[in-house]
Amino acid sequence: MKHKTVDISEKPLVLATALDGTFLGGTDEARRKYYDWINANRHAVGLIFVTGRDPGFVSELSRRKGVPKPDYVVGDVGTTIAFSDDRHILNPIAELEAEIVEKWDDSSARVQAALRSIPGLRLQGTAFRQRVSYDMDPDKFDRRAVDIIEDMGLDALISDNKFFDVLPKGVSKGPSLLRLLAHLGVKNDRVLVAGDTMNDHSMLTMGLPSVVVAGAEPALLEAVEKLDTVHVAKEEGVGGIAEATLRNNYFNKCAA
């Protein structure tokens, strides 16, 4: 069976949001209200999850009662670009991933071999595609790991002072989200980007309307403090997204 993608190019709001601490954060009441609003306005709201999580996690998440199903997903810290079908299964968009696959060049085994002796890193148990990810102990971590990865022609990304991701050179959430938005024909002024950690930095600093929710990683707050396009919310998690939705008049635009 062939599944169709959703045209979100003309929707008044396209929310591109991180998950943990952002779309999945905040109070139960805030999540319920905002999720209900999205579900009631899917004719006007496009939804893109931009996450470090893998496709399996996102598929299971979107099956939960009340959690809105994303139209598209930029997953695996930007190394997966996919659409979500009516069975909640993520389908990679080959033409958007081709450059990512080429840059990665099946590097998983050599990355793991190169970092095997580095203290403070524990390989995550998820199934990797074009990345390798570790849980990081900041007290034991040896920063030589960053140099090792850069010498391999790859990128190292440390976020929330506890995660260490190895990615293809120049690939992260921001560039992959831009590639997807251009592919879909979504105009910049229809987008609201939301995040809370340093692995969201690249998508929050692209010049798109953005929000950093309360309780965000201090390094991210410092990095965006002078950017006019980024609103630093007073509310945590999805409450901060709702705050930015109201601030940018998206509620009214979607009701028009």
Q: What is the pLDDT of residues 61-82, one digit of tens each?
A: 988 878 999 999 999 999 999 9
Overall domain count for the chain: 2
Q: What's the pTM?
A: 0.95
Residue at 8 is within a domain: no
- Given 140, 168, 196, the domain boundary residue is 168
Contact 249, 231 (CB under 8 A): no
Neighbours of 233 (CB within 10 A): 21
- Given 123, 138, 168, the domain boundary residue is 168
If asked whether residues 195 and 105 sit together in one domain, one would say no
If asked whether residues 36 and 50 sit together in one domain, one would say yes
Q: DSSP letters along 15-66, please?
A: EEE-IIIIIT-S-HHHHHHHHHHHHHTTTTEEEEEE-SS-HHHHHHHHHSTT
Gap between the Cα atoms of 159 and 201, Å rounded: 10
Confidence of residue 2 (pLDDT cuts 50, 70, 90): low
Confidence of residue 238 (pLDDT cuts 50, 70, 90): very high
User: What dihedral do alpha carbons 133, 134, 138, 142 form, nearest 10°?
Assistant: -90
Gap between the Cα atoms of 158 and 37, Å rounded: 34
If asked whether residues 29 and 86 sit together in one domain, one would say yes
Residue at 1 is within a domain: no
Gap between the Cα atoms of 99 and 124, Å rounded: 25
If asked whether residues 105 and 155 sit together in one domain, one would say yes
What would the mean pLDDT of 100-117 be, rounded to a whole number? 97
Residue at 6 is within a domain: no
Provide the residue range defining the domain that includes 151.
Answer: 100-168
Residue at 82 is within a domain: yes
pLDDT of residue 140: 97
- Given 110, 135, 168, the domain boundary residue is 168
User: What letter does residue 207 receive in the DSSP assignment?
Assistant: S
If asked whether residues 175 and 161 sit together in one domain, one would say no
Confidence of residue 1 (pLDDT cuts 50, 70, 90): very low
Helices 144-151 and 108-115: crossing angle in degrees, nearest 10, is 150
If asked whether residues 183 and 251 sit together in one domain, one would say yes
Q: What is the pLDDT of residues 166-199, one digit of tens each?
A: 999 999 999 999 999 999 999 999 999 999 999 9
If asked whether residues 81 and 175 sit together in one domain, one would say yes
pLDDT of residue 211: 98
For the four alpha carbons of 231, 33, 218 and 154, in that order, the dihedral sign comes to negative
User: What letter does residue 198 receive in the DSSP assignment?
Assistant: G
If asked whether residues 188 and 216 sit together in one domain, one would say yes
Average pLDDT of the chain?
95
pLDDT of residue 243: 97
Q: How far is CA 160 from CA 2, 31, 136, 201, 218, in A?
A: 39, 23, 10, 11, 9
User: What letter does residue 128 receive in the DSSP assignment?
Assistant: P
